[in-house]
Amino acid sequence: MSKAFPLRSARTIAVLAVTQIVSWGTTFDMLGVMGRVIAPDLGLPNEVIFFGLTIMMLVSALAGPATGRLLDRHGAARVMATASVVFAAGLLLLAAAHEFVAYAAAWVIIGIGGALGLSAPAYTAVVEREGLNGKRVIAILMLFTGLSATVFWPVLALVNDLVGWRLTFVLCAALQIFVCLPLYLYGLPKRVENREQAQAAEIVPVDFTPPERRRAFFLVAAATAISSFVSFGLSPSLLELLRQAGASPALALQLGSARGAIGVSARFVDMLLGRRGNALLTSLVGTGLMLASFLVAATLPSSASVLVIFVLLYGFGTGVVAVARALLPLSLFSAREFGLQSARLSLPQNLANALAPVIFTAILDRIGPTAALFTGAVLSAISLVFVLMLVALVRRANARCAKLNPSS
């Protein structure tokens, strides 16, 4: 049994790493390379082309609660297999688009696929197979999902040069049908079936009362949505923020590139902690580092050393918070309902992700870098308050349970 467990885990990671890299790379990350290529052919401005990502995130947000019910009823493998078909349909429509209506409709379909196949369903697939022990597997999986753009940007650029963008999208659809779909249906290990593991999946890590449970969900939703708003909103404008803060174009590019590596290293540290990791503590540390990064950059005179400190704190903080966002539902609710709660939490997070880049870009361009930094600081402080309230709520619930069950 001890040997079978790691083998199951490795198989789960391998299947989900491949499918998540393909799914993120052929949808959300794809416009980073293809956006300015397809714009002239469609006769649309670049900003309209990139508005497709906003459509995708909004649709994914609205479809999140329904996805949670589907995950609870049918399991992650079937839901994600459906996502592959939906993604393929959206990509084929994108390949055939000649004007805005068809282009926007394609992103609506891709957005539905995103709700069914990206992040939350993948983490649910892990928990279905690992139970509460899935924290380390999710952390390992997140190391791979951060590589989707790294893998697919050069591949998409090469294929586009060889066959053009329309056939490139057809080939992306083929990857969904001939790679992702069979992996979901036949590659994933079966869900836990023995009685002991099934009973363990019902165990609630924190025994909340119904009012406490509702409050805990609200606090998690608020904290994660705000932190996602900050990290997702600033990422597209990070290079411009560094340049406006005084960095040379070369330094800005170096620091911006380093930020990605720092974020992955933060995920790696959390993965090494494994079962000893604590999602609440991770949330506190990550959000605190984000707050510190903004305060350092906003209050100290700008210099190369200050910008380096900012990127170190911000990169590590956002990397840690990304892991915490994925693991918080597993730390507070039962493994059995992880998919439902994660999908419900995706609604505010994806809405924040859809709006954040536009708002941060407007603040940076119209008011300046200091305003953008103070905005990040204020939002990070609010998120930190919500996390502290959540920690206090968990402590009260655990203290109450300890009084009721002194022998345990």
CATH number, domain at 67? 1.20.1250.20
Phi and psi angles of residue 313, each rounded to the nearest 5 degrees, phi first:
-65, -45
- 308 and 255 in contact (C-beta within 8 Å)? yes
If asked whether residues 276 and 159 sit together in one domain, one would say: no
If asked whether residues 51 and 176 sit together in one domain, one would say: yes
If asked whether residues 174 and 312 sit together in one domain, one would say: no
If asked whether residues 107 and 243 sit together in one domain, one would say: no
Point out the domain boundary residue: 199, 215, 241.
199
- 6 and 189 in contact (C-beta within 8 Å)? no
Instruction: Domain of residue 321: give its range.
Output: 204-404
- 280 and 391 in contact (C-beta within 8 Å)? yes
Point out the domain boundary residue: 181, 199, 217.
199
Structure tokens at 308: 């380096």
Point out the domain boundary residue: 141, 171, 199.
199
pLDDT tens figures, 373-405: 999 999 999 999 999 999 998 888 887 777 766
If asked whether residues 241 and 310 sit together in one domain, one would say: yes
DSSP state of 333: S
DSSP state of 236: G
If asked whether residues 397 and 291 sit together in one domain, one would say: yes
If asked whether residues 227 and 131 sit together in one domain, one would say: no
Global pTM value? 0.75
Other beta carbons within 10 angstroms of residue 74's beta carbon come to 12
If asked whether residues 73 and 111 sit together in one domain, one would say: yes
How many structural domains does the chain have? 2
If asked whether residues 294 and 146 sit together in one domain, one would say: no
Other beta carbons within 10 angstroms of residue 303's beta carbon come to 12
If asked whether residues 180 and 251 sit together in one domain, one would say: no
Does residue 1 have a pLDDT over 80?
no
How does residue 132 score in pLDDT terms, banded at 50, 70 and 90? low
pLDDT tens figures, 106-116: 999 999 999 99
If asked whether residues 297 and 388 sit together in one domain, one would say: yes
